[in-house]
Amino acid sequence: MAYFNPEIETLARGDLDALVDERISYTVRYAAEHSRYYRRMFEREGINPGLIREHEDLLSLPVIGGETIREHQPPFIGDFELKSVDWNSIFSIHETSGTSGIPKAFFLTWGDWLRYAEKYARIFTSQGFGPDDRVVVCASYGMNVGANTMTLAARDVGFCVIPEGRCTFPPRVITSYRPTAIVGSVFKLLRLARRLRDMGIDPATSGIRRLVVGGESFAPESRAYLAEVWGVDVYNTYGSTEGTMCGECSEMNGLHVPEDLVHMDLYDPGISGFVEEGECGRIVLTTLVPVGEKAGMVLINYDTEDTTMVLTRERCACGRTHMKILNPQREAETFWIAGVPVNRVDIERGVFSRDNMEYLTGEYEAFLYGGGEESGTVLRVSVECEDTSACDRELVEHNFITSFFGSKRPLFDQYNDGTLDVIFHFADPGALELYRAKGRPKRFIDRR
């Protein structure tokens, strides 16, 4: 079994917990000394940073979110109050996309980069990557950290990177450079497979040995179909500018969290408290800085607004001891119908019912309408067909309904009594609304 950092990745649970507590204590003291925001927050809340010494102590500290970062940076104030080193120590500056408002700024030292890269290096190694791999990276090389971090991790693991940035690269990249793996999203990789087929190249015989998906949550059914199309294993990763970087190992049954470098708790804003082990909650992360090192920006109890649950803290069959979590979902893609949460992944699960894929491309979008006491709610599901004239619409609708209500049984009564209606639209290739939208396409939209 291969490990990038075997001493840390296989550390016994008791020793790992002790290391985490040591870094929590150091990180909180570091933040109090070097971040204007945290120094003032601790003073305002009457918190003695020196008394925060272990994981349980974090649970008593305030939870912050994206708005906290925005409100403590220009243009709202004159400086970046969460920055925790001087400008001369900053190696790079990054921003989030800004789709939900002013972009959040993040500051990384070179030490931060090395820690970020190690997280991905561990993931790649756990998925079987090595010096004989050539990997096409279909992720943005702009202000986002993902692609650059993967590239730096490739240097450490020893494999070759083909930094395309997008999955719209020409098929000659496959035939000329013979890559062994591609990193991208489910839909980018499905579109690439269709383009290759149009050029007479079978993705399953293209030389690709594995795919790595990330950047958005997905249904198990869409991953299974992607694996079938390419004829390879599809590994899951989860990362963010804030520094989460979790990934599946060869067991492919949950994402390992690099507990020594990022601490994760799960929070329920409805009760303003943290959930019990095994319950679903929003990921609240805390940067862990090794004792004696610096960080460009520290986050303590930062609400990512992504939801997950802890699957296990037991040693994995791969030998790693770091806990595993369920594939996170974006809370922004969850809407409530009659008191029941419905996420985009629930829609995707129904679209990708295997028999449907004889007729569909996999591209879809869904909208919620109505919502009044008298009118009820309408869920409109639009799917893109390979050929609308040949699509078995009755089969597609039946498979979707069976899958959707199979996972959302509480909504079935509303469907039967007519207060929830599900209607379908079958679109020609390229006719969905998302093709005309700017930026990252939204596949589930509440228009009530």
- What does the pLDDT average to over 250-261? 97
pLDDT higher than threshold 80 for residue 436: yes
Closest of 152, 106, 134, 198 to residue 4, by C-alpha: 152
- What does the pLDDT average to over 131-150? 93
The tokens describing 358, both together, are 């004889």
Same structural domain for residues 249 and 368?
Answer: no
Same structural domain for residues 110 and 27?
Answer: yes
Any idea which residue has 């037991």 for tokens?
314
pLDDT higher than threshold 80 for residue 201: yes
- Between CA 187 and CA 338 the distance in angstroms is 30
Per-residue confidence band for 197, with pLDDT thresholds at 50, 70 and 90? very high
- Between CA 166 and CA 175 the distance in angstroms is 17
- What does the pLDDT average to over 210-228? 93
The answer for residues whose C-beta is within 8 angstroms of residue 170's C-beta and 6 or more apart is none
- Between CA 150 and CA 364 the distance in angstroms is 29
The tokens describing 87, both together, are 């400008």
Same structural domain for residues 284 and 419?
Answer: no
CA distances from 148 to 117, 144, 152, 161, 179 (A): 9, 8, 6, 11, 19
pLDDT higher than threshold 70 for residue 438: yes
Lowest mean pLDDT, pick from 123-127, 272-276, 298-302? 272-276
pLDDT score for 215: 74
Q: Please answer whether residues 328 and 144 qualify as being in contact, where contact means their C-beta atoms are separated by less than 8 angstroms.
A: no
pLDDT higher than threshold 60 for residue 425: yes
Same structural domain for residues 260 and 281?
Answer: yes
- Between CA 386 and CA 373 the distance in angstroms is 38
pLDDT score for 371: 67
Same structural domain for residues 275 and 191?
Answer: yes
Q: Helix 393-407 vs helix 344-351: angle between axes, to the nearest 10 degrees?
A: 140
Host domain of residue 245: 1-327
pLDDT in tens, 2-42: 999 999 999 999 999 999 999 999 999 999 999 999 999 99
pLDDT higher than threshold 90 for residue 271: no
- Between CA 292 and CA 425 the distance in angstroms is 59
pLDDT score for 99: 58
Any idea which residue has 């190249």 for tokens?
201
Per-residue confidence band for 119, with pLDDT thresholds at 50, 70 and 90? very high
Same structural domain for residues 292 and 344?
Answer: no
pLDDT higher than threshold 90 for residue 440: no
pLDDT higher than threshold 60 for residue 158: yes
- What does the pLDDT average to over 173-187? 96
Same structural domain for residues 266 and 356?
Answer: no
pLDDT score for 62: 94
pLDDT score for 48: 96
pLDDT score for 437: 85
pLDDT score for 98: 61
CA distances from 16 to 63, 146, 239, 241, 275 (A): 24, 26, 22, 24, 22
Task: Tell me the pLDDT of the chain averaged across its residues.
Answer: 94
pLDDT in tens, 49-76: 999 999 999 999 999 999 999 999 999 9
Q: The CATH number of the domain where 379 resides is what?
A: 3.30.300.30
- Between CA 21 and CA 376 the distance in angstroms is 51
pLDDT in tens, 63-111: 999 999 999 999 999 999 999 999 999 999 998 876 557 899 999 999 9
Q: What is the pTM of this model?
A: 0.93
Q: The CATH number of the domain where 183 resides is what?
A: 3.40.50.12780
Same structural domain for residues 268 and 387?
Answer: no
Same structural domain for residues 148 and 233?
Answer: yes
- Between CA 235 and CA 125 the distance in angstroms is 12
pLDDT higher than threshold 60 for residue 276: yes
- What does the pLDDT average to over 284-306? 96
Per-residue confidence band for 127, with pLDDT thresholds at 50, 70 and 90? very high
pLDDT higher than threshold 90 for residue 394: yes
Query: What's the domain count of the chain?
Result: 2
- What does the pLDDT average to over 256-262? 98
pLDDT higher than threshold 70 for residue 373: no
- Between CA 441 and CA 435 the distance in angstroms is 8
Same structural domain for residues 284 and 343?
Answer: no
- What does the pLDDT average to over 302-331? 96
pLDDT score for 143: 86
- What does the pLDDT average to over 399-419? 93
Same structural domain for residues 152 and 298?
Answer: yes
Same structural domain for residues 119 and 96?
Answer: yes
